[in-house]
Amino acid sequence: MINIRKYLKGDPAIWGVALFLSVISILTVYSTTGSLAFKYKGGNTEAYLIERVFFIIASFVIMYFVQKIRYTVFAKISQILIIFTIPLLVLTLMLGSDINDASRWLKIPGLGLSFQTSDLAKVTLVTYVAYMLSKRQDLTDDYKTTLLPALAWIGIICLLIFPANFSTAAMLFSICFLLMFVARVPMKQLGFIVLIGLVIIGITVFLIYFFPDVLPRGATWKNRIFGFLGDNADANYQAEQAKMAIANGSILGTGPANNPNKYFLPQGYSDFIFAMIIGEYGLFGGLSVLFAYLILLYRCVRIASKTKYAYAALLSLGLGILIVIQAFINMAVAVNLFPVTGQPLPMVSMGGTGTLFTALTLGMLLSISRAVEEKQEEPEVKEVEDAE
């Protein structure tokens, strides 16, 4: 009998969560893409199933190889990617493909694929900020050495993501703020960051309400926010259809592919896939997915608590929260607790490159947990210290 643990290193719970979410993804994507198949694939309903299985397999291949890399290597790579990411984000703003009324995608020449540059930016920025803060653990009181350099990179990346994807920019800023809090940046400095964030949010809300056309997606944001607050079905059509799908599912669900709302719910295979999971598998199905992400968060906290080194702890927390917060936002939108944001459900929603970036993040978490388990941290930490 093959000893799987011989090949799959790192926290087994993370592998288990990835496998569970992948199975849910394949089942739900297959059951909700029938209308897409007739619209774009000539009625070939297996086309999207095959595509999804391919990306899931590719994801596990990525996880397998990334978990074999020492996690300190990510610090070195992030120093290169953080610079490379900026022109990519600028290029996306200028030449990005317009998909679902948002220019967030860049096409990969020759492959026929598009990817959101913000996916690369999220992983890169969290990794780089974790590295910067770990290097300056003894200098957190010196705002010129610690706070300002970190804020500069966070501000540049988030501002470049903001015009096309406000929710991602706000989420990424919040995660970096949390990393600063964990890294013991003084409360006075954190208060200054909160003030900056509130000012930016205030200006954004003012512009959205009075001058929505000033911002590239201002009108869309206004419709979503005030449609959510006012319960306007015409302005919030997606959320209304999601609620109907959930209502049809009730406690036990309608069963796979039996929820009639899959034909009416836009993005039921992507942004609103959690509504379809509840609709088809009932309350138990929805809670199972929710608990899977909570388990992932718990394991990341456990990894951070077991390591003696700041970089491993900050990176584990940052990457884990990055996945889980995005999942919570997606689920909150699906059950109408939050305005529509366009955030997919990590490792579950249909989308090739987005799934691969999630797999990359999970692979990095597995690499950290492997180092903690095998007590390889001490020589690796010296590599972090020499990374600059």
Least confident range of 116-130, 132-146, 320-334: 132-146
**158-170 core/surface letters (b: 16 or more CB in 10 A; e: else):** bebbbbbbbbbbb
Q: Looking at mean pLDDT, say which of 104-113, 134-143, 212-221, 300-309 comes out highest.
A: 300-309
Looking at per-residue confidence, does 212 or 207 come out higher?
207
Per the document, the length of the chain is 388
Chain position carrying tokens 């909150």: 332
End-to-end Cα spacing for the chain: 45
> Quick one: pLDDT at residue 381?
47
Residue-level pLDDT at 269: 86
Beta bridge partners of 105: 97, 116
Q: What average pLDDT score do residues 350-373 get?
A: 92
**pLDDT > 70: what percent of the chain?**
88
Place of tokens 């198949």: 37
The predicted pLDDT at position 38 comes to 81
Long-range contacts formed by 184-187: CB under 8 A, 24+ apart = 184/137, 184/140, 185/133, 185/140, 185/146, 185/147, 186/140, 186/141
pLDDT of residue 388: 46
> What pLDDT is stored for residue 96 in this prediction?
64
pTM of the model: 0.90
Query: Does residue 369 or residue 257 have the better pLDDT?
Result: 369
Please say if the pLDDT value at position 98 is more than 80.
no
How does residue 235 score in pLDDT terms, banded at 50, 70 and 90? Answer: low
Taking alpha carbons only, the member of 64, 52, 58, 48 closest to residue 5 is 64
pLDDT at position 355 is 93
Single-letter amino acid, residue 45 = T
Comparison of pLDDT for 210 and 362, the residue scoring more: 362
- Give the torsion sign (CA, 342, 348, 349, 352): positive
Distance CA 79, CA 383 (A): 14
Mean pLDDT, range 265-289, rounded to an integer = 89
Using pLDDT thresholds of 50, 70 and 90, give the confidence band for residue 385. low
Q: State yes or no: pLDDT of 205 exceeds 80.
A: yes
Query: Which residues neighbour 225 within 8 Å (Cβ) at sequence distance 6 or greater?
Result: 208, 339
pLDDT band at 357 (very low <50, low <70, confident <90, very high): very high
Residue 32: pLDDT above 90?
no
- Do the beta carbons of residue 167 and residue 104 sit within 8 Å? no
User: In angstroms, rounded to a whole number, what is the distance separating the alpha carbons of residues 132 and 126?
Assistant: 10
CA 354 – CA 114 distance, rounded (Å)? 10
The answer to whether the CB of 56 falls within 8 A of the CB of 367 is no
Residue 99's pLDDT is 58
Residue 1: predicted pLDDT: 46
